[in-house]
Structure 1
Amino acid sequence: MLAFLIRRIAAGAVLVVVVATATFLMLGLTGTDVARNVLGETASRAAVAAKTRQLGLDQPLVERYGHWAGQALQGNLGDSWFTGDPVNQSLMDTLPVTLSIVFAGLLLAAVLSVALGTAAALRGGWVDRLVQFAAVLGTAVPSFLIALVLAVTLAVRLGWLPATGYVALNSSGIDWLRSIILPAVSLAVGATAATAMQVRGAMVDVLRADFVRTLRSRGLSTRSVILRHALRNAAPPALTVLALQFIGLIGGAVVVEKVFGLPGIGSLANSAATRGDAPVLLGTVVVTVVIVVAVNLLLDIAYGWLNPKVRIS
């Protein structure tokens, strides 16, 4: 198991380095006059040249990358070129917002997909057809459209939940939950649709297996067979899909945060990309990749626990 974890951690570290390097190089080759953008069109050439030297943009690209990477390894992601705020602090302010809606959406998708997929596999007939139709519909409808419908109906018209804004968990647990419900549901619909079909397919295969018939012949109840044996054997494929869905939820959070006016990391990255604020954009990319790697590592551990063959693959 230790060798399995070391391989996964090493692969994750390589991925972070590759993505960070590629992002830095692409940002450095855009040809944008960052100093002019920071100071404005009315700034003099002397002021722009001084700002260029201050930001270190007059140095070779490789040297700039070495300086940034050295700071990043020490946990310092630099300062914003436009506001001067530390990138670390900006990420600490915005990251909890995005993680709240993404993990809530992932948890909701996991619970609903297991329930719907298992029901479809067990019941068959019209239940199976209904779940399949709902899955196709949920996959086809984009998350931003779902977010708009939920915001207009449940928030604006009915007033059940807030339409915009975010309340920190340490301020009020109830208000925090109310502020993330609609964004989390918006993200969870597509993830639930994809994962539910995977659970259904895996459960159908498992329920046809010889060991399930043997367990039933020994007098075990259907509930015991499903909860203690069938779900565990059907879980690995579903975990793989959930790992992929998590990446999609991170991307979908950018649009959903805009709809609900949430100050999350998606909004921060979008603003940085629009202005050309490379340190902020690099910071959001690196932190996002680290989170994705960490979540996938946890899912790999769960996968390895459920299927020991994975540990030696």
Structure 2
Amino acid sequence: MLAFLARRLAAAVLLLFVISFLSFLLLSLAQVDVARQLLGLQASASAVAHENAALGLDRPLLARYADWLGSAVRGNLGTSWFTGQDVAQTIGQRLPVTLSLVLATTVVTAIASLALGLWAGTRRGVADRIVQILGVAGYALPGFLVTLLIVVVFGVDLKWFPATGYIPITRSFTGWLSTITLPTLALSLGAVAGLSQQVRSAVAAVAAQDYVRTLRARGLSGRSVVLKHVLRGACAPALTVLGLQFVGLLGGAVVVEDIFALPGIGAMTVADTSDGDVPVIMALVMVSVIGVVLINLAVDLLIGLLNPKARLT
């Protein structure tokens, strides 16, 4: 198990390095005239050149990347070119909002998908068709449209939950729950549609195995067979899909946070990407990548525990 973990950690570190370099390279190639934006169109050429030198933009690409990497490893993500604020501190203030949204969505997605997939995979017939129809509908409906409908119906018309805004969980749990419910619902619908289909297929495949039929023939109850054997065999592929969906959840969080006016890193991404604020963009990219890497590492470890053969890969 330790060798398996070491291989995954080494691959994760290499992936972070490659993505950081490629991101820095692409941002440098596509970089706009930041100094001109900061100083205004009327600024003289000498003033623009001085500002570029102050930002370090007159230095070679590799030298700038080496400086950024060395600082990032020590936890220093630099300062925003446009606001002068510490990037790490700014992200630290917004990250809990996005984390609470994504984690709540992941929990809801896992529970709902597991329940629907088990129901459809073990009962088949009408239950199977209902889950398939729900899955197709979840895929077909545009996420942006579904989010707007949720806001209008539950936030504006029925007024069951706040349509916008956010209350930290440290201030009030019930307040946090009320403000996170609609964003979580909007973000989880598409994920449940996909994952429930995966669980359904995996459960049906495992239930058709010879050893499962043997267990049933020995007199074990259906509930015991499903919970102790079928579910264990179906979890590995479902966990893989859940890990892949985490990337989509981060992307969806950008849209959802913008619609529900949540002060997370998604809303920050929309604002700072359009400005070309490289220190902020690089920090956001790396925070997102680290989140994805950690989730997939956790998924790999869980799969390794469920299926020892997976540790050999």
For residues 237-282 of structure 1, give each alpha carbon's deviation from its aligned partner in whole angstroms, at most 9, with x where no partner exists.
1001001111110111111111101111111122111000000000
Does the CA contact (< 8 Å) of 2:31 and 2:276 recur in 1? no
Report what 1:115 is aligned to: 115
Q: Does 1:53 align with 2:42?
A: no
Q: Does 1:164 align with 2:159?
A: no
What 5-or-longer segments of structure 1 have no aligned partner?
Answer: none
Report what 1:136 is aligned to: 136
| 3-state SS in 1 of match to 2:180 | helix
Report what 1:94 is aligned to: 94
Report what 2:285 is aligned to: 285
Measure, in 1, the Cα distance between the counterparts of 2:141 and 2:256. 14
Report what 1:44 is aligned to: 44
TM-score (ref. length: structure 1): 0.98
* Shift in Å, 1:131: 0.6
Number of equivalenced pairs: 313
* Shift in Å, 1:188: 0.7
For residues 183-215 of structure 1, give each alpha carbon's deviation from its aligned partner in whole angstroms, at most 9, with x where no partner exists.
111111111111111111111111111111121
* Shift in Å, 1:31: 4.3
Report what 1:208 is aligned to: 208
* Shift in Å, 1:229: 1.1
Letter of the 1:106 counterpart? T
Does the CA contact (< 8 Å) of 1:143 and 1:256 recur in 2? no
Report what 2:66 is aligned to: 66
* Shift in Å, 1:46: 3.2
Letter of the 2:7 counterpart? R
| 3-state SS in 1 of match to 2:59 | coil
Letter of the 1:123 counterpart? R
Measure, in 1, the Cα distance between the counterparts of 2:33 and 2:76. 24
| 3-state SS in 1 of match to 2:163 | coil
Tell me whether 137-146 or 253-262 shows the greater mean CA deviation: 137-146
Matches within 5 A, 1:134-283: 134-283=134-283
| 3-state SS in 2 of match to 1:246 | helix
For residues 127-171 of structure 1, give each alpha carbon's deviation from its aligned partner in whole angstroms, at most 9, with x where no partner exists.
111110110110122322221111111011111111111111111
Measure, in 1, the Cα distance between the counterparts of 2:22 and 2:242. 26
Note the aligned Cα RMSD (angstroms): 1.1
Measure, in 2, the Cα distance between the counterparts of 1:39 and 1:277. 15
Measure, in 1, the Cα distance between the counterparts of 2:128 and 2:162. 35
TM-score (ref. length: structure 2): 0.98
Report what 1:14 is aligned to: 14
What 5-or-longer segments of structure 2 have no aligned partner?
Answer: none
Q: In structure 2, do the counterparts of structure 1 residues 31 and 113 end up closer, same or farther at CA, with 3 Å as the change threshold?
A: closer
Report what 1:308 is aligned to: 308
| 3-state SS in 1 of match to 2:171 | coil
Letter of the 2:251 counterpart? G
